[in-house]
């Protein structure tokens, strides 16, 4: 196998090129380049079977180079190496069909193993044959398959018209690969699939895609078993092998039995629906199109999930209540058999409600941060993992809200009193007050009771009665008019409350105040 090394660090480039192991495994180094642009020019001359390339390079980085190579030389394999342990570029590398992804400092054994895997794939099924298979799969999965083109391809006549089943072996949560874990080797996954298939009597194709591997199984000329039941056995064997020797969990969607391979696109639609249901079933799921139909019949109507009570829970900062809320949402989603899109919709709604609550305490976060959170939500394939992510985010928001409350108890009370002082004449409700202060009304009600010892209504009445006392002391306005002036609509209700709070009726209070004022004047010698 001819190999080209691409790395802007000369020491690394030379070290890789001079490894004695290349000769031992039957490989030759046919070129070296310091960046993608130089490598692209060199590839025209040396025609490498495999490129081992750094990702971060000047002039043209590894991602741009891989995109160009994929267009010009689709048969060339690429192994990426990178010093970035957060795998920022892993998703792009996977989308471009990278055979593997290895981090610096390079483990030479890991690198040699990856190269040998590629060589084994090439020797087991001739590269041209595999490329023909992948080309046929892509034609069959296109919007309008060109059957005339298929007839020209080698191997088509052997499978045309045969009963077929399509399996999609996907890495769980692969859209998060590169941000929370090391990206998977899809090449290694394909090898696991092939090892399993080699013990079954079915002709098959494999085709790598950005989420995993498609497996197309054909009915042999002399049927030896039931394809439907065997597809489940094959799937269980693949999942079992992956658990023991693959670093990522996988799930498998199985199409219905297709009358012929020409209907492969409808099989793809089957398995996409199956793998969407993985959101509820969890990692390592195996689900077939027929099983999915029966599950949907049982779940029936999908009612809405209640997420409204979240706003009553978050301000308290109680972790257990938050987790209890999420557990109830989780159970509802499972019971109602919600699809992936519906689950994601409710998850985003939960986050938006929490974010709006936090906005009442601090300046809203940048849109970019919230968009990124929503993107992460949409990246989850597994409901239990999504719920863990929501739990972390909600607890984080709840702790922020709790901290704001601890730090600003006196500020909130001051703001409440200032608002009542300024608006006591108006018709104030707890809801209108909470809106004015940008605080949840249920939380504000509990807060006022806790900090003042009385509820909001009593606090408002006491404020109004206090204003009435001043007017009775300083003016000759009739008490019924004072009642209206301080915000009461019913003078008799005002009089009852006044006596209850002050201990005297408005008239008695005014008379008592006048008597005390006269005594004060007498004692001071101002009255003769």
Amino acid 31: pLDDT: 92
d(CA 302, CA 339): 10
In a shared domain, residues 218 and 273: yes
Does 304 reside within a domain? no
In a shared domain, residues 163 and 240: yes
In a shared domain, residues 155 and 270: yes
**CATH code at 175?**
3.30.70
Does 516 reside within a domain? yes
Does 235 reside within a domain? yes
Could you report the per-residue pLDDT of 371-398, keeping only the tens digit for each? 788 888 887 888 888 889 999 999 888 8
Q: How many structural domains are present in the chain?
A: 4
In a shared domain, residues 278 and 316: no
DSSP state of 261: G
| 167, 231 Cβ separation under 8 angstroms | yes
Amino acid 132: pLDDT: 77
| 227, 165 Cβ separation under 8 angstroms | yes
Could you report the per-residue pLDDT of 277-334, keeping only the tens digit for each? 787 777 888 888 877 765 555 444 445 556 777 777 887 777 888 888 888 888 888 7
In a shared domain, residues 177 and 245: yes
**CATH code at 74?**
3.40.50.2300
In a shared domain, residues 451 and 508: yes
In a shared domain, residues 148 and 102: no
**In the chain, helix, strand, coil percent, each to 5?**
60, 10, 30
Asked which of 276, 299, 322 is the last residue of a domain, the reply is 299
**CATH code at 470?**
1.10.10.60
Asked which of 351, 378, 407 is the last residue of a domain, the reply is 407
Share of the chain above pLDDT 90, in %: 24
Does 305 reside within a domain? no
Q: Which residues pair with 168 in a beta bridge?
A: 214, 253
Amino acid 300: pLDDT: 46
In a shared domain, residues 219 and 331: no
Amino acid 366: pLDDT: 60
Could you report the per-residue pLDDT of 423-456, keeping only the tens digit for each? 999 999 998 888 888 776 776 888 888 888 999 9
pLDDT bucket at 86, cuts 50 / 70 / 90: very low
Could you report the per-residue pLDDT of 186-237, keeping only the tens digit for each? 888 888 898 888 778 888 989 888 889 999 999 887 766 788 889 989 999 9
Strands 212-218 and 204-209 come out as antiparallel
Amino acid 484: pLDDT: 94
In a shared domain, residues 71 and 184: no
Domain of 515, in residue numbers = 410-524
Which pTM value belongs to this model? 0.50
More confident residue, 219 or 526: 219
Does 170 reside within a domain? yes
Asked which of 237, 265, 299 is the last residue of a domain, the reply is 299
In a shared domain, residues 415 and 507: yes
In a shared domain, residues 378 and 415: no
Highest mean pLDDT among 262-271, 401-410, 514-523: 262-271
d(CA 13, CA 127): 27
Does 86 reside within a domain? yes
In a shared domain, residues 112 and 159: no
Residue from 375, 374, 305, 290 nearest 336 by CA: 305
């Amino acid at each position: 196998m001819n190999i080209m090394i691409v790395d802007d660090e000369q020491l690394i480039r030379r070290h890789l090129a001079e490894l004695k192991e290349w000769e031992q495994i039957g490989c030759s180094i046919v070129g070296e380049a310091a960046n993608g642009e130089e490598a692209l020019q060199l590839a025209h001359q040396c025609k490498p079977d495999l490129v081992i390339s750094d990702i971060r390079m000047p002039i043209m980085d590894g991602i741009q180079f891989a995109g160009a190579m994929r267009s010009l030389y689709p048969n060339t394999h690429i192994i990426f190496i990178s010093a970035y342990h957060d795998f920022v570029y892993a998703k792009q590398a996977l989308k471009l069909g990278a055979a593997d992804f290895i981090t610096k400092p390079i483990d030479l054994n890991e690198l040699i193993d990856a190269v040998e895997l590629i060589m084994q794939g090439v020797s087991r099924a001739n590269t041209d044959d595999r490329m023909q298979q992948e080309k046929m799969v892509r034609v069959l999965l296109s919007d309008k398959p060109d059957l005339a083109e298929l007839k020209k391809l080698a191997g088509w006549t052997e499978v045309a018209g045969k009963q077929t089943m399509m399996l999609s072996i996907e890495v769980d949560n692969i859209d998060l690969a590169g941000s929370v874990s090391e990206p998977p080797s899809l090449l290694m996954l394909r090898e696991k699939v092939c090892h399993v298939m080699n013990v079954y009597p079915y002709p098959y194709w494999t085709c790598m895609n950005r989420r995993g591997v498609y497996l197309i199984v054909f009915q042999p000329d002399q049927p030896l078993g039931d394809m439907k039941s065997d597809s489940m056995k094959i799937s269980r064997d693949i999942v079992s092998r992956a658990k023991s020797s693959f670093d990522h969990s996988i799930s498998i969607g199985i199409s219905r039995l297709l009358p012929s391979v020409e209907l492969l696109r409808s099989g793809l639609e089957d398995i996409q629906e199956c793998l969407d249901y993985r959101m509820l079933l969890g990692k390592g799921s195996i689900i077939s199109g027929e099983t999915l139909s029966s599950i949907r019949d049982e779940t029936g109507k999908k009612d809405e999930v209640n997420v409204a009570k979240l706003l009553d829970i978050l301000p308290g900062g109680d972790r257990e209540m938050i987790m209890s809320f999420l557990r109830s949402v989780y159970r509802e989603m499972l019971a109602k058999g919600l699809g992936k899109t519906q689950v994601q919709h409710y998850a985003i709604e939960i986050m938006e409600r929490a974010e709006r609550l936090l906005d009442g305490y601090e300046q809203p976060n940048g849109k970019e941060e919230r968009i990124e959170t929503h993107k992460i939500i949409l990246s989850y394939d597994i409901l239990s993992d999504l719920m863990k992510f929501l739990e972390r985010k909600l607890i984080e928001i709840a702790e922020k809200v709790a901290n704001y409350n601890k730090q600003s108890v006196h500020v909130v009370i001051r703001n409440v009193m200032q608002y009542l002082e300024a608006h006591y004449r108006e018709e104030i409700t707890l809801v209108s007050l909470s809106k004015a202060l940008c605080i949840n009304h249920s939380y504000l009600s509990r807060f006022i009771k806790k900090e003042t010892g009385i509820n909001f209504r009593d606090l408002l009445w006491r404020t109004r009665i206090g204003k009435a006392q001043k007017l009775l002391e300083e003016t000759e306005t009739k008490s019924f008019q004072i009642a209206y002036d301080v915000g009461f609509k019913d003078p008799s209700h005002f009089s009852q409350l006044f006596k209850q709070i002050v201990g005297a009726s408005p008239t008695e209070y005014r008379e008592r105040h006048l008597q005390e004022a006269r005594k004060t004047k007498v004692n001071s010698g101002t009255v003769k």
